[in-house]
Amino acid sequence: MAVDEINQRQRIKNILQDAEVQFRVQENIRRGQEDVKVTIGRASELFHLKASKLRELDDLLMPGRGRSKDTGGGQRQYSLAELNKLAIISELLNHEKIPVGEIPPDIDEIWDSVSLSSEALHEASESSNNKVHVEPTIDQRVERANEEAFWRYFTAQALKLSLNLICEDIPDVVAGIILPLNRKTNASSTLNPEYIDQLGECLIGWRDQHGSFVTFYTPAPHFDFHTDFRIRGLRAEEETEPQDKTFVVLERNAMQLHLSIPVVEAIRRLLAPIYEDAHEKKAYYERGMKDATYPAIPSVGTTVPDTMLTEFANMAVRLGGKTGSGKDRWKFCVLLMPNNPLLSLQLRSLVVQAQSQRSPHDVGKTLVSPDTTFLSLSLRAFQGIRVLYRSQISEKDEAIAYRDKEGPIQSAIAIPIAKNDGLPIAVLYLVSEEQAAFDTEYQRVLRLVSLIIGELLEDSHALSQIEERVSDVVEQPQVVNKILGAFSSENNFMSDVAAILHDIKEKGYSSEEVAASFISIDVDDLSKQTNKYGDQVLVNLSKVLGNRLEGQIGLLFDKQKGCKLYHIFADRFYLLINGVSLEKVRESAE
């Protein structure tokens, strides 16, 4: 047995020896034994685990023996031995945050070796206020503190971004967003402010007329003067009824809201994890929700994963939801950052700084470099300051830098994370084993998450102001830099070329009947100018070059017949001239 495995078993054994843990496990066992038949649905309620997680635990519950028999209705039914084992596993997953892969198959035998009798456990309880109480270890305290820091930060930022989206057209009013934590709370179109306390426990994001924002928990919200406000459910203008129990508070004399479906759907996706984990994470909120400072992000290249960034990578995958089979829609997520920010954008390599659970890469070691024949998707997104999306990855697509490591992926997306000045500081890279897994609705919520990560990266000691209008993210989720967003992108180029090829195939044109020309254009020695004058020069000169090219194109070619300019990355432009042969293009260019 490996040393790491021995240490992990000893850690789990120490956890299970804690009196409070034993109380909870025995209570779980008791509840499971009360039901004659426990299906997967009932087990989900008893042990607070999702059905997809329970299916994932099948091999751990009964290793080598296959699944238990289904009931007559087709649902999974658990044996008494499985329920007892599940009671132990749920404690390790829900309270101790032990990953499934670190729980040994013989966890029930470890439990039997340390569990106390009811009498002994009662005696331990009697003296728990004295000397028997076992304090968490330093490692446990640090782990819980890091998790709490992430959830408090993510929740505050998610509520802030949501309220900014809601109040985009009425920026100078007092407004709030309310997330009721009571599972019995129903969605409603309106709510009388006088009876707001009936919502019970709530998370509230609140903004004053000057834009200051605060997030807090309250067991029962109420107003000094309830007549000053009106409350409505979160819904789009096209919806007749709200789809969830989120409420929006506005000053009584504020303008009516006119929210679009994309805005409301993006908010719902962003807030969904907060609702899902509300009861499990409630203790974090009860101790006081507020905007706070957090430890600095480690320097790029360190091999020790940063907890906050790792949690964001896991959250990004979680926001993709599940497939019909219960698997994560997205396989993994990595955050890449430049290893030398003093170099120009074109010369910077990107290093994996954080990653989600299923990522095959190495933090601080996996690197994508510009010194290659074909730039990786993440590096192209970083240099081009654009979201790059491959809805279907071919076997010959060289933009996937680590194809052997990443396995049989079918789609991928690279999302630049920009500073307030629009220049990139990192890239979020996600892949999926399904085709077309990152549609526009998912791009919106990933861009919102990228804004939160960007703010954390830019200033980890204080929350800075997000200058870009978040509504632009919803309306144009692939535009990261507004200056370069005026030009068509690499995504547009690939779509247009595919459309031309499809048209040729459908209509059966011969090579003599078809003419389409492609020209690649870049700027000589732009890297030297960028090193001398800074990265903003690259953006500005690219804008000037693009405008000049469009002017020349208008004089030389008929834009109505399919002449189009694309900004690809850095100083690289492509020109597509449909219906004109390359010889004629050369004559016109001369």
Q: What is the mean pLDDT of residues 504-514?
A: 69
CA–CA separation, 41 and 77 (whole Å): 9
pLDDT score at 468: 52
State percent of the chain over pLDDT 70: 85
Residue 270 has pLDDT above 90, yes or no: yes
To which residue do tokens 């100083």 refer?
571
pLDDT score at 140: 80
| Cα angle value 52/93/199 (rounded, 5°) | 80
Residue 339 has pLDDT above 80, yes or no: yes
Report yes or no on whether pTM surpasses 0.85: no
Q: Which is more confidently placed, 461 or 497?
A: 497
pLDDT score at 512: 56
Confidence of residue 301 (pLDDT cuts 50, 70, 90): low
The backbone torsions φ and ψ at residue 376, rounded to the nearest 5 degrees and listed phi first, read: -70, 165
SS3 411: strand
Tell me the three-class secondary structure of 126-148, residue by residue. HCCCCCCCCCCCHHHHHHHHHHH
Terminal C-alpha separation, the chain: 74
Instruction: DSSP letter for 108, please.
Output: H
pLDDT score at 379: 95
Contacts of residues 491-497 at CB distance under 8 Å and 24 or more positions apart, as own/partner, are 491/386, 491/387, 491/388, 491/389, 492/564, 492/566, 493/566, 493/568, 493/574, 493/576, 496/564, 496/576, 497/576
Q: Which is more confidently placed, 119 or 281?
A: 281
CA–CA separation, 211 and 240 (whole Å): 30
Nearest in space to 347 (alpha carbons), one of 374, 378, 383, 377 = 383
Characterize the bridge pairing of strands 213-218 and 202-207. antiparallel
pLDDT score at 548: 84
Confidence of residue 366 (pLDDT cuts 50, 70, 90): very high
Confidence of residue 132 (pLDDT cuts 50, 70, 90): very low
pLDDT score at 484: 82
pLDDT score at 128: 46
Least confident stretch, 142-146, 332-336, 354-358, 464-468:
464-468
Q: Which is more confidently placed, 543 or 333?
A: 333
Q: Which domains occur in the chain, in start order?
A: 3-135 (no CATH), 141-286 (no CATH), 307-437+466-481 (3.30.450.40), 490-589 (3.30.70.270)
Q: Convert the pLDDT of each residue in 224-237 to its tens digit.
A: 898 999 999 999 99
Q: Are 224 and 197 in contact (CB under 8 A)?
A: no
**Over the range 423-437, which residues count as b (16 or more CB within 10 Å of their CB) and which as e?**
bbbbbbbbbbbeeeb
Q: Which is more confidently placed, 211 or 213?
A: 213
The token duo for 502 is 């499809």
Residue 462 has pLDDT above 60, yes or no: no
Q: Which is more confidently placed, 72 or 397?
A: 397
CA–CA separation, 570 and 259 (whole Å): 36
Instruction: Output the average pLDDT for the chain.
Output: 82
CA–CA separation, 458 and 302 (whole Å): 18
Residue 2 has pLDDT above 70, yes or no: no
Judged on CB neighbours under 10 Å (0-12, 13-18, 19+), 262 is middle
Q: Which runs of consecutive H residues, i.e. helices, occur in 419-525? A: 440-458, 470-475, 490-507
CA–CA separation, 396 and 284 (whole Å): 48
CA–CA separation, 179 and 215 (whole Å): 11
Residue 119 has pLDDT above 60, yes or no: no
Q: Convert the pLDDT of each residue in 285-297 to its tens digit.
A: 776 654 443 445 6
The residues pairing with 572 across neighbouring beta strands, listed in sequence order, are 569
- Sheet with 572-578, strands from edge to edge, namely 516-521, 572-578, 563-569
The secondary structure of the chain in percent helix, strand, coil, rounded to multiples of 5, reads: 45, 15, 40
Q: Which is more confidently placed, 46 or 400?
A: 400
State CA 113 to chain mean position distance. 41
Q: Convert the pLDDT of each residue in 81-101 to its tens digit.
A: 888 888 888 888 887 778 888
pLDDT score at 523: 75
Query: Dihedral of the CA atoms 327, 329, 331, 335 (nearest 10)?
Result: -140
Nearest in space to 576 (alpha carbons), one of 516, 513, 486, 495 = 516
Confidence of residue 282 (pLDDT cuts 50, 70, 90): confident
Q: Which is more confidently placed, 269 or 552?
A: 269
pLDDT score at 463: 44
**Over the range 501-527, which residues count as b (16 or more CB within 10 Å of their CB) and which as e?**
eeeeeeeeeeeeeebbbeeeeebeebb
Write the CA distances from 155 to 87, 96, 262, 291, 427, integer angstroms: 30, 21, 21, 10, 22
The backbone torsions φ and ψ at residue 390, rounded to the nearest 5 degrees and listed phi first, read: -110, 105
DSSP codes joined into one string, 214-234: EEEEESS---SSGGGEEEEE-
pLDDT score at 529: 74
CA–CA separation, 200 and 121 (whole Å): 35
Q: What is the CA radius of gyration of the chain?
A: 28
Residue 75 has pLDDT above 70, yes or no: no
Confidence of residue 137 (pLDDT cuts 50, 70, 90): confident
SS3 97: coil
Q: How many C-beta atoms surround the C-beta of residue 371 within 10 A?
A: 7
Q: What is the mean pLDDT of residues 339-352?
A: 87
pLDDT score at 288: 61
Q: How many C-beta atoms surround the C-beta of residue 63 within 10 A?
A: 11
Q: Are 56 and 80 in contact (CB under 8 A)?
A: no
Least confident stretch, 128-132, 330-334, 558-562:
128-132
CA–CA separation, 167 and 163 (whole Å): 6
The token duo for 1 is 């047995």
CA–CA separation, 296 and 149 (whole Å): 13
Contacts of residues 271-275 at CB distance under 8 Å and 24 or more positions apart, as own/partner, are 271/158, 271/159, 271/162, 271/179, 271/244, 271/246, 272/319, 273/154, 273/315, 273/318, 273/319, 274/154, 274/155, 274/158, 274/179, 274/203, 275/179, 275/244
CA–CA separation, 316 and 354 (whole Å): 12
Q: Are 418 and 466 in contact (CB under 8 A)?
A: no
Confidence of residue 117 (pLDDT cuts 50, 70, 90): low
